[in-house]
Structures are given as structure tokens and as C-alpha cells.
Chains A and B, each alone.
Chain A
Amino acid sequence: MGRIIIVLCLILSLGIGCAPKEFTPYQPPEIKFNPTPPYELDLTPIQALKPDKIKPIYVDENFQQVEKEDAKFVVLAPSEYAKIAAILKIAKAYKDVAKEQEVLINTNINIINSLKEFVALEQAKTKAALELYGYSENAYRQERYERKVDNAINKMSFGAIAAGIIIAIIAM
């Protein structure tokens, strides 16, 4: 009985030893993209410094202060004149911001184009992986079919042998 168990264990270990090695599929590297927060243009630093409306002094041709309706010229106090300079500075700042935003937009367009390329490559990878899956599946199906045919032939042969032996025994 002990010998039978040892032999059975040996046969079992032989079977396990001959089992095919498990196929480990290729692990692609993990690529992660962090979400980009929405962009918000905060213009408060320059908006906060927007001066009050200019208060000019209205004068006639003799440079005498008159009502707005009778005025020929406007005169500005230095503090009011400075407001024009400030407004120009604000306009210049907006222009610079707009120019830098062009750079920002183009950078984001480049990112979008890169992402499009990434998606195209990902699709190419998927196609290649599906081709591999197709090869494997077809090979497996062919293998299975041939095993079925082999098994059928073996069964028929053993049947024929058994039938032949039975006939031979009966005939004897």
C-alpha cells in the first residue's frame, strides 16, 4: 500500500513538473496625467489701481475757468494728468497680458496636439495587442481542433483494435 502511494505521488509530481509554465502577459509602464485646474485670470492687481474719472478744469480762449458748455480748452492738474499716464500704463499692462496669453494658449494647443499623438499611439498599441490576441486565439483554436482530431483517431484505432481482438478471440 505504501509503495502504491509513493508511486502515485511520483506520478503526480511528474505531472505537476511537466505542467506548462504560466504565461505572464507584458506589463506596460504606468503613465499618469495630473488633471490641470481651470485657468482663472485675476486682474485685481491692476484693476484695483484704476484711477477715478479725470476731473478737468474747463477754460475759455483766455484761459479763464468757465462752465463745461462754454469751454474751449481743458486744463489738468498734475494729479489729473497722472491719471492719463496711469490709464496708459493699465492699457500697456493689458496688452502685455494679452501677448503672454497668446503664449499660454499656444502652449496649451501644443499640449492638446501632444495628447492627440498620445491617443494615436495608444490606438496603435491596442491594435498591436489585439493582433497578438488574434494570433494566440487562432493558434489555440487550431491546436484544439488538431487535438480533437487526434483524440478521435486514437479512439477509433483503439476501438478497431479492441474489436479485432474480440473477433480473433471469438474466431479461435
Chain B
Amino acid sequence: MEFTSILGLLDGCGLLAGIAFWWSSRGDKKSDARKGASDILQKVGLKKITEAEEKQKVVVAEIAKNERLSDESKKKIKEIQKKAAVEIGTILKDENIANIDKEIDKTWDEL
């Protein structure tokens, strides 16, 4: 084989190697582009999540408020009973018919 043919063969190999490296280096650019796209998507996704979390905070505050109201209602029910107990105790001891009559009239209207 002539020297020029060998040189040509080596040049061919070099060219092939050059194309291969150029080809594989494109992968980095693609990776960078993909990273950029992924970052944007992550940001968008995280925004959706944080927005939902903000709404959840409002809901949690609402639940806490209702739990307080629920406790207040339970206390009120106890107070109603206590107040009624005092009134019943007083009326049962009362011997004055006029007073009893007045209480009956008053309570009757409230029923």
C-alpha cells in the first residue's frame, strides 16, 4: 500500500473520530436544554403544590375555628343545664302560688 493511501485511511479514521465526538458533544447541549425545561416544569409543579398548601392552611384555620365553636357549643349546653337546674331548684322550693304561676306563664310562652 502506498503512503498516500495509508495517510488517507488515517485521515478517514480521524474524520470518523471527529464526527463521533461532535455527535456525542451534542448530548451535553441536549442535557442542558432538558435541564432548563425540567427546571421550568419543577417550578410550575412546585407553584401548584404551594398554592394548594396555601389553600390548605386556610382550610386548617377554618377547621380550628369550627373546633373552637364546637367546644363553645358544648359549654353552652352545660350552661343551659346549669341555669335550668338553678331555676328548677328555686321553683320547687317556692310555695308562693303567684310566683309559680308567673313562672309557668313565662316558660309556657317560651316553649
Report yes or no: B59 in contact with A117, Cβ–Cβ below 8 A.
Answer: yes
Residues from chain B with a CB closer than 8 A to the CB of A107 are 66, 69-70, 73
- The total number of A-B Cβ pairs within 8 Å is 200
Give chain B's interface residues, CB within 8 Å of chain A: 1, 5-6, 9-10, 12-14, 16-17, 19-21, 23-24, 27, 30-31, 34, 37-38, 41-42, 45-46, 48-49, 52-53, 55-56, 59-60, 62-63, 66-67, 69-70, 73-74, 76-78, 80-85, 87-89, 91-97, 100-101, 103-104, 107-108, 110-111
Report yes or no: B53 in contact with A161, Cβ–Cβ below 8 A.
Answer: no
Report yes or no: A115 in contact with B63, Cβ–Cβ below 8 A.
Answer: yes
In the complex, A161→B77 CA distance in Å?
92
Residues from chain B with a CB closer than 8 A to the CB of A156 are 20
Residues from chain B with a CB closer than 8 A to the CB of A157 are 16-17, 19-21
Report yes or no: B73 in contact with A100, Cβ–Cβ below 8 A.
Answer: yes
In the complex, A85→B67 CA distance in Å?
36
Q: A45-B85, A135-B42 are in contact. Are A78 and B111 (CB under 8 A)?
A: no
Q: List 18 A-B contacts (CB under 8 A).
A: A31-B60, A39-B74, A45-B81, A82-B100, A85-B91, A97-B80, A110-B66, A111-B67, A114-B63, A115-B63, A117-B59, A122-B56, A124-B52, A139-B34, A157-B16, A161-B16, A161-B17, A171-B9
- A49 contacts chain B at the CB level, 8 A cutoff: yes
Give chain A's interface residues, CB within 8 Å of chain B: 26, 28-29, 31, 33, 36, 39, 41-43, 45-46, 48-49, 51, 78-79, 81-86, 88-93, 95-97, 100-101, 103-104, 107-108, 110-111, 114-115, 117-118, 121-122, 124-125, 128-129, 131-132, 135-136, 139, 142-143, 146-147, 150, 153-154, 156-158, 160-161, 164-165, 167-168, 171-172
